[in-house]
Structure 1
C-alpha cells in the first residue's frame, strides 16, 4: 500500500503546490467532475472561493471554445462524428432543434449532463454567430458554476449545522439519561419504602 502511495506522491505534491493550475488543467480535460472537489475545498477554507470560481469559468470557456471551433472548422466532419455515435435520426432532430433554438439549447446544455460538448460542436457547425456564442455560453458557464458553488456552500453549511445539532442532541440525550436514571432511582426508592413499610 505504501508503494502505491509513493507512486502518486509526486502528483499529490504538484497538486498541493499549484492547486489552481491543477484545477485549470483538470477542468480543461475532465470538466465539471474536477470542479466539485475544488468547491468543497473552497467551502472548507482550503482554497480561495473567488479564485476557484474564476479558474472554473475561464477553463470551461476555453474548453468550450475548442469544441465550438472544431464544429466551425469542420462542420461536416463534426456532424459525421456525431452520426457515428448516435443514429442519424437523433442527429437530424438535434440539428433541427438547434437551428431553431440554438442559443436556448446552448444555455440549457450546461445543465444536462452529457450534452455540453455536442451543443458546442453544433453551435460551431451551424455557424452560430461568435458574439452570440460568447454571450450565451458565458452566461451559462457563470450560472452553472455559481449554482454548483451555492449547492456546495449549502451542503457544507448544512453539514456543519447538523454537526452542531448532533453535539446538542448528545448533551440533551445525556441530560435525559441522567434524569431517567435519577427518576428510576427515586421511583425505586419510593416503591421500596412503600412496599417495605407495610
Structure 2
C-alpha cells in the first residue's frame, strides 16, 4: 500500500498531491497523514521541491474546504442538519458530526477555523459552521490557509526526515498505511450500511 501510494504521487507529481489533498477534505478516502509525508519522502530523494510540496498540499487542502464552506453558507444550520440526516452516509457526516463542529465553532469562534485544521476529527467539518456563520471569505481563506500550512509543513517535514530511515520504517509504515486506508473505507461502508438498515426499518 505504501509503495502504491508513493508511486502514485511520484508519477502524478504536484498535481497528484493537489488532487489527493483536495479529495481528502471533500471525501477522505486517504488521510493527509499519509499523503503529505509521501511528498516529504520524494522531496528528500530530490524528486520534488519540499517548499512546493508544502504549498501545493496547502492549496489542495484549502480548495477542499471551500465546498463545505459554501454548503454551510447557502443552506444554513437547519437544512445542513436535514441534509446530513438524509444523506449523511454519502457525505461522511451525520447530524452529530455537524453539531460537534458547530459547537466547536460556537465556543472558539475564528480560532476554531485556524486550530480546527490541525485536528483530524474537525479539519473537514469546521468549514461548514464557518459558512453557516457567514464568515467573510477573506478571513476564512486566511485562517484556513495558515492552519493548513502548519499541518502540511509538519507532515512533509516528518516524511522528509524519515527518508534516511526508509529501509527501517518501511516494514511498519506499509502495514500501518494499509490499516489506516482500509479502516477509513470500512468505517465509511459501515456507516452507509447502518444508515440504509435504519432507514429500511423506519
The structural deviation recorded for 1:36 is: 2.5
Q: 2:150 aligns with which of 143, 146, 158?
A: 143
Q: What's the RMSD between the two structures over aligned residues?
A: 2.9
Q: 1:113 aligns with which of 112, 115, 120?
A: 120
| Structure 2 length-normalised TM | 0.61
The runs of 5 or more residues in structure 1 that have no matched partner are 1-7, 163-198
Map 1:92-103 onto structure 2 (within 5 A).
92=99, 94-103=101-110
Aligned match of 1:80: 82
> For the pair shown, which has the larger CA radius of gyration, 1 or 2?
1
Greater RCO, CA 8 A, separation 6+: 2
Map 1:66-77 onto structure 2 (within 5 A).
66-75=67-76, 76-77=78-79
| Structure 1 length-normalised TM | 0.62
The runs of 5 or more residues in structure 2 that have no matched partner are 26-31, 169-202
How has the CA–CA distance of structure 1 residues 69 and 149 changed in structure 2, closer, same or farther, with 3 Å as cutoff? same
> Are residues 1:30 and 2:37 paired?
no
Pairs aligned (count): 148
Q: Distance in 2 between matches of 1:118 and 1:66?
A: 11
Aligned match of 1:180: none
Q: Is the 2:40–2:50 Cα contact (8 Å) retained in structure 1?
A: yes
The structural deviation recorded for 1:26 is: 1.6
* DSSP 3-state at the match of 2:134: coil
How has the CA–CA distance of structure 1 residues 46 and 97 changed in structure 2, closer, same or farther, with 3 Å as cutoff? closer
Map 1:30-69 onto structure 2 (within 5 A).
30-31=24-25, 32=32, 33-69=34-70
